[in-house]
A and B are shown apart, each in its own frame.
Chain A
Amino acid sequence: MATEAHAAEGATGYIIHHLTSLHVGEGFWTLHLDTLFFSAVLGGLFVWFFKRAAEKATAGVPGLIQNFAEMLIEFVDTQVKDSFHGHSKLIAPLALTIFCWIFLWNFMDLFPVDILPLIGSAMGIEYLRVVPSTDLNATFAMSISVFCLIIFYSIKIKGPWGFAKELMFQPFGPWLLPFNLLLKLVEEIAKPISLALRLFGNLYAGELIFILIALLPWYLQPVLSFPWAIFHILIITLQAFIFMVLTIVYLSMAHEDH
């Protein structure tokens, strides 16, 4: 259990403690230091690994690291080629970053729920949420970035007028313009919201279940947390994959000129 003080507040206190971020600031200008820190560290890990592979990349016999990196690259490239038919230097690296970064975020969920907060409390840090994807800020940051790219490419490929026309005259023709506009706006805005909430919801729920399991007597914990962890391996990969594929699909839709 986390700390003596919160253990005294019972199960609810324990759960709330686990779901509270380490934060500084007030109101909107609050910063979740743990989210920022862990996502930056994981991003650094991703960049470090791939940079090493990229530096040693040869067309000859690949090493272990290069092999693994190439496997991921080919996997992402296949996904991109399957759904995106235009030509873009951005989409494939973007998809790779999204997949790996989200996967690493989600992977933090597989660490025992108490271990990192325990280390943190030993170092004098009172609150610690280690899974960035259970923070709405992290998931929304990513989906809003993707949304900006969608808007940017829509305008770039179709032109401002072309994009506006698509918003106004589709799918029901110019006579139902307000209705079209409303429908299209909802459709566009639903994209980042669904992306962010799907990832957040899945991981938040998963984390919550880990916390609930951690509240059970010790002899029951392995029986439940082991299958849940195995199931979670599927979930974290799947969520990263879904986020990546949907990003590719949304961006390819932005590239399609009707």
Chain B
Amino acid sequence: MSINATLIGQMITFALLVWFTMKYIWPPLFDSLEQRKKKIADGLAAAERGQEEMHLAEKKAKGVLKEAKEQSSDIVNLAQKRANEIVEASKDTAKKEGERLILVAKAQIEQEKQQAKESLRKEVSALALQAAEQILSAEIDKTKHQDLLNKISNQLG
């Protein structure tokens, strides 16, 4: 119970323990704690930065996608327009061609009609002349009435 030299021994032990803890135990453990704290903080910051970057990239990708969509719709529109134009143009040329063909045909028909008319007239006039000749052969001297005959034939022509 009494205070004695044990006190001194205990004080020495205590001093040694405190010295040892101070020198060899506290610093490395505390340092590792601090380092881990820093590591975790860095990691968190990096994660945040990564997330931000991802957001940015997402935004960018969205923008690119939108642009591409617009471009593609533009291209489609253009193509449609062009196709319409081509169709219109071909329609036009077809119409024109048709009209031209019709005109050509009409002209041909006209020509043929004229030819037919011509030949018909010639035939008719020849027939008429013949007929008239036959009718008149008796009465009309061919040589005498040549002028008149020519006149009639011209009129018929």
Chain A residues packing against B (C-beta within 8 Å): 19, 25, 27-32, 35-36, 39-40, 43, 46-47, 50-51, 53-55, 57-60, 62, 66, 69-70, 73-74, 77, 89-90, 92-94, 96-97, 101, 132, 135-138, 140-142, 144-145
Contact = CB atoms under 8 A, between A and B. Distances in A.
B138 interface: no
A135 B15 CA distance: 18
Contacts, number: 127
Contacts of A90: 18, 22
Given A40-B13, A54-B25, A144-B11, A28 B4 contact: yes
Given A69-B29, A92-B26, 16 more contacts: A30-B4, A39-B13, A40-B13, A53-B29, A54-B24, A57-B31, A66-B29, A90-B18, A93-B18, A93-B22, A94-B22, A101-B14, A101-B17, A138-B6, A141-B7, A141-B11
9 contacts: A28-B5, A47-B17, A54-B28, A92-B26, A93-B18, A96-B21, A97-B18, A137-B3, A144-B7
A136 B17 contact: no
Contacts of A35: 6, 10
A27 B26 contact: no
A74 B25 CA distance: 13
B30 A43 contact: no
Nearest to B8: A141
Nearest to A139: B10
A243 B148 CA distance: 164
Contacts of B31: 57
Interface residues of B, number: 33
Interface stretch (B33-41, B51-59, B105-113): B33-41
Given A101-B17, A144-B11, A145-B11, A96 B6 contact: no
Contacts of B38: 59
A47 B25 contact: yes
Secondary structure dominating the interface of B: helix
A59 B5 contact: no
Q: Which 8 A-B pairs have the closest CB atoms?
A: A141-B10, A59-B35, A137-B6, A57-B32, A93-B26, A93-B22, A30-B4, A32-B6
Given A27-B4, A36-B6, A47-B20, A145 B14 contact: yes
A120 B102 CA distance: 137
A46 B17 CA distance: 9
Contacts of B8: 141
A145 B26 contact: no
Given A43-B13, A70-B29, A144-B11, A97 B4 contact: no
A35 B30 CA distance: 31
A23 to B, nearest CB: 8
A50 B36 CA distance: 18
Interface centre among A35, A59, A73, A93 (most CB of B within 10 A): A93
B51 to A, nearest CB: 24
Contacts of B3: 28, 136-137, 140
Contacts of A92: 26, 30
A24 to B, nearest CB: 10
Nearest to B25: A50
A111 to B, nearest CB: 20
B29 A57 contact: yes
